[in-house]
């Protein structure tokens, strides 16, 4: 009792007892008034134990009604609250909650006894109920509620279980408060009482904050910031309520202890029961986190229908709002207006595996971090010219390798977010891994000769590489690492060489003639825009190159300013390889291209230069390719450098003819005019007997090499 004028019978240790005038200043044995600078106000005291037979020790004493001592309470005319307490201990120790009573006494009246109706004793049944309610709330239910919120494996049910447990905590705290009030053993001046009031307030705040957070999250995304505030309040007020509740339980145990020796015993039991449940639950929860658990078990989603990535791509192309996270498919059409990040963030994840953004683990680190301030890869660069361009480009564009819009979407979502998302789960992906394309190393390890390829029985298009940078059925985001202008300043439409970067610098991708890669982006309205583009090289290391003409179309308009784009592939559009050759190479090729149609031709030529057999003496490839490249005028011609490099590698096995339909300068080394039969006869290989196979014109003659004209 803080601030109480206390008089207690004190054993002097020699068989005599005295009354000590004290003033309570802390929850501990009250010091005497004299020790605090006051005075001993007791005038007369006398031991009358021998004059009665119903008490162990009885002393009478007197003092002035008003002593003038600041450590004494004046006795007034009227009822005054008086507390009585006793202890069996001979030492000055806590009397315990069961050994006390209180009443109101008017000291001006002549009554010498306290009427029974004026005395209020502690109800043992209410005290037991109060103790059990507090124990169950803070020793059992609260640790379980925290464990469920943090570790429960079933993300679909943890929130309802957590809510039920914390609601039970609130109910138990209310019961404990009511029993203290009804039983009149709640001393309003005690530490236990005051901390208990704080616990009631914190539990109420935590419960209400959790309720409002849940409702606001499901109202509209415009309320998400306020919902996050309530969730923050719920989390930390709940944690504080748990800690303060344990402290309150400790003081309750102290008050229940009748003697000093029993007090130590009760405190020890309390501390053991307090720490064992949370520590045990924490260790068990941490162990569960590292178990290899099926994500469907983790989400409580074991009976969903199965889909493949082809199904996802098809449904999305028809307008479905499907996203994939950890092999679970979610239809988020009805969640667009509730997502805290707004519809834009969800739109950017439609149709792709969004685990990298949802789990906050984005592996595409900016290359400026990989290569340093100048983007250097070291002295052993495979392409010195490419390295110089890279360095110059990074210097001029220091933020090119970072897509800030994409980075802003990456966030490690909470278990609550996963719980909400589980309501929109509608399917799971089958264990389907499409056969990836082989890397160039797999082919190079065999040899370039047709005979060796035949002996090896290796099928082009298969792979032993476990990790491939681009997947045929799964869209992923790729950073646009370089965009180099290929056409002159006066070209009708500019053509750029785009390089899309892989996650890893040494990652390799293999493409074949007839393959294309599908680019995709989502506009601000959620509309998906997709276009196919053909790479210019068979083997791509660290990234893949495309020649793209920027028209006023949706995709090219996006690419003009974009720093990343979705991509999947390679997608076989047609098979342009020779079915009668183990290497897939043709002996004679006639290629006709106009504008950006040159890109599939570059891929065909690069494939033949890599895999066709060569003369062991001259190193000349055993094929001949005729390329007719048409454009409007000289200003629109591009790719001359790349074609020249292929001619140099071919050692005379490639014949290239440029033709423009407009006016040409005197320096132009090519044909002027339209493509006519005469032009075709002059530039293409001589025709042989024809037969149609696989949608292509194959020219075959006995004992003659196969020819292809595309």
Binding site residue list for FAD: 531, 533, 549, 555, 599
E strands, 58-134, where? Answer: 59-62, 80-85, 100-105, 120-121
* CA distance readout (Å), 594 to 57, 494, 661, 675: 117, 15, 11, 11
Measure the CA angle with vertex 628, ends 624 and 632; round to 5°. 165
The three-point CA angle 348-485-476 to 5° equals: 25
Pairing of strands 120-121, 100-105: antiparallel
CA 548 – CA 535 distance, rounded (Å): 10
Distances (CA, A) of 64 to 40, 67, 74, 112, 409: 11, 6, 9, 18, 78
- Annotation: binding site: 531, 533, 549, 555, 599
Q: How would DSSP label each residue in 149-207?
A: HHH-S-TTTHHHHHHHHHHHHHHHHHHHHHHHHHTT---TTSHHHHHHHHHHHHHHHHH
H-run or E-run covering 573 = none
Burial of 208 (0-12, 13-18, 19+ CB in 10 A): middle
Nearest to 392, CA basis, from 380, 379, 375: 375
Query: Rounded to an integer, what distance in angstroms lies between the CA atom of residue 528 and that of residue 525?
Result: 9
Q: Is 628 exposed, middle or buried (0-12, 13-18, 19+ CB in 10 A)?
A: buried
Strands (E), 321-424: 322-325, 328-331
390's tokens:
């890279």
Element (H, E) at 529: strand 528-533
Task: Give the Cα separation of 320 and 326 in Å (integer).
Answer: 19
What is the distance between the terminal CA atoms of the chain, rounded to a whole angstrom?
A: 100
Question: Looking at residue 218, what DSSP letter applies?
Answer: T
Distance from C-alpha of 296 to C-alpha of 304, rounded to nearest angstrom: 9
Element (H or E) spanning 215, and its range? helix 191-217
d(CA 269, CA 510): 69
Say whether 481 sits in a helix, a strand or coil. Answer: strand
Interatomic CA distance for residues 134 and 169, integer angstroms: 9
The beta-strand segments (E) located in 386-527 are 425-429, 476-485, 495-501, 508-510, 515-522
Contact 510, 439 (CB under 8 A): yes
Q: Which long-range contacts (CB under 8 A, 24 or more apart) does 107-110 make?
A: 107/65, 107/75, 107/80, 108/77, 108/78
Phi, psi for 324 (deg, rounded to 5): -125, 130
- Report the distance separating Cα 685 and Cα 669, nearest Å: 20
Residues ≥6 apart with Cβ < 8 Å to 429: 306, 307, 308, 309, 312, 324, 327, 328, 329
Element (H, E) at 578: none
């Amino acid at each position: 009792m803080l601030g109480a004028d206390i008089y207690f019978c004190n054993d002097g240790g020699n068989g005599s007892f005295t009354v000590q005038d004290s003033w309570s200043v802390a929850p501990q044995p009250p010091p005497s008034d004299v020790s605090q600078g006051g005075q001993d106000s007791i005038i007369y005291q006398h031991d009358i134990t021998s004059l009665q037979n119903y008490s162990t020790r009885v002393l009478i004493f007197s003092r002035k009604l008003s002593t003038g001592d600041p450590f004494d309470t004046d006795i007034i005319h009227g009822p005054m609250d008086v507390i009585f307490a006793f202890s069996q201990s001979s030492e000055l120790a806590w009397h315990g909650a069961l050994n006390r009573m209180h009443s109101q006494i008017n000291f001006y009246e002549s009554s010498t006894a306290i009427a029974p109706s004026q005395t209020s004793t502690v109800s043992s049944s209410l005290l037991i109920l109060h103790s059990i309610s507090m124990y169950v709330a803070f020793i059992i239910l609260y640790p379980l509620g925290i464990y469920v919120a943090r570790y429960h494996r079933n993300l679909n049910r943890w929130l309802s279980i957590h809510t039920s447990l914390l609601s039970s905590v609130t109910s138990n705290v209310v019961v404990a408060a009511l029993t203290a009030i009804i039983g009149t053993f709640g001393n309003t001046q005690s530490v236990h009482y005051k901390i208990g009031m704080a616990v009631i307030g914190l539990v109420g705040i935590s419960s209400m904050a959790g309720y409002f957070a849940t409702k606001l999250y499901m109202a509209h995304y415009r309320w998400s910031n306020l919902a996050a505030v309530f969730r923050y309040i719920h989390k930390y007020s709940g944690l504080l309520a748990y800690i303060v509740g344990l402290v309150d339980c400790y003081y309750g145990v102290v008050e229940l202890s009748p003697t000093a020796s029993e007090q130590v015993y009760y405190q020890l039991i309390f501390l053991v029961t307090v720490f064992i449940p949370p520590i045990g639950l924490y260790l068990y929860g941490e162990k569960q986190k590292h178990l290899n658990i099926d994500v469907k078990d983790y989400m409580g989603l074991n009976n969903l229908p199965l889909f493949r990535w082809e199904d996802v791509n098809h449904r999305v192309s028809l307008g479905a709002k499907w996203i994939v996270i950890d092999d679970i498919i979610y239809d988020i059409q009805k969640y667009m207006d509730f997502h805290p990040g707004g519809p834009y963030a969800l739109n950017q994840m439609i149709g792709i595996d969004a685990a990298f953004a949802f789990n906050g683990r984005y592996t595409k680190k900016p290359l400026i971090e990989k290569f340093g301030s100048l983007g250097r890869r070291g002295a052993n660069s495979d392409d010195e010219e490419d390295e110089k361009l890279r360095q110059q480009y990074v210097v001029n564009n220091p933020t090119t390798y970072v897509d800030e819009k994409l980075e802003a979407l990456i966030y490690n979502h909470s278990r609550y977010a996963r719980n909400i998302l589980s309501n929109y789960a509608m399917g799971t992906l089958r264990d389907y891994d499409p056969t990836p394309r082989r890397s160039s190393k797999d082919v190079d390890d065999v040899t370039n000769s047709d005979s060796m390829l035949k002996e090896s029985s290796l099928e082009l298009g298969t792979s032993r590489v476990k990790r491939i940078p681009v997947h045929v059925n799964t869209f992923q985001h790729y950073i646009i690492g370089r965009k180099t202008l290929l056409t002159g300043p006066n070209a009708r439409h500019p053509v750029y060489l785009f390089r899309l970067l892989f996650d890893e610098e040494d990652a390799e991708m293999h493409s074949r003639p007839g393959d294309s890669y599908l680019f995709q982006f989502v506009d601000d309205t959620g509309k998906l825009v997709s276009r196919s583009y053909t790479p210019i090289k068979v083997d791509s290391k660290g990234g893949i190159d495309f020649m793209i003409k920027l028209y006023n179309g949706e995709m090219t308009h996006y690419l003009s300013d974009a720093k990343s784009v979705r991509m999947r592939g390679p997608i076989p559009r047609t098979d342009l390889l020779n079915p009668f050759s183990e290497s897939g190479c043709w002996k004679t090729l006639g290629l006709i291209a106009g504008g950006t149609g040159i890109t599939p031709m570059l891929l065909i030529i690069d494939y033949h230069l890599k895999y066709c057999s060569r003369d062991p003496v001259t190193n000349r490839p055993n094929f001949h390719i005729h390329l007719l490249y048409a454009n409007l005028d000289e200003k629109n011609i591009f790719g001359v450098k790349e074609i020249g490099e292929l001619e140099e590698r071919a050692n005379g096995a490639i014949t290239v003819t440029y033709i423009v339909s407009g006016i040409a300068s005197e320096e132009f080394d090519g044909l002027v005019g339209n493509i006519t039969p005469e032009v075709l006869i002059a530039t293409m290989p001589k025709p042989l007997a024809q037969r149609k196979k696989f949608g292509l014109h194959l020219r075959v003659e006995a004992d003659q090499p196969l020819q292809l004209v595309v």
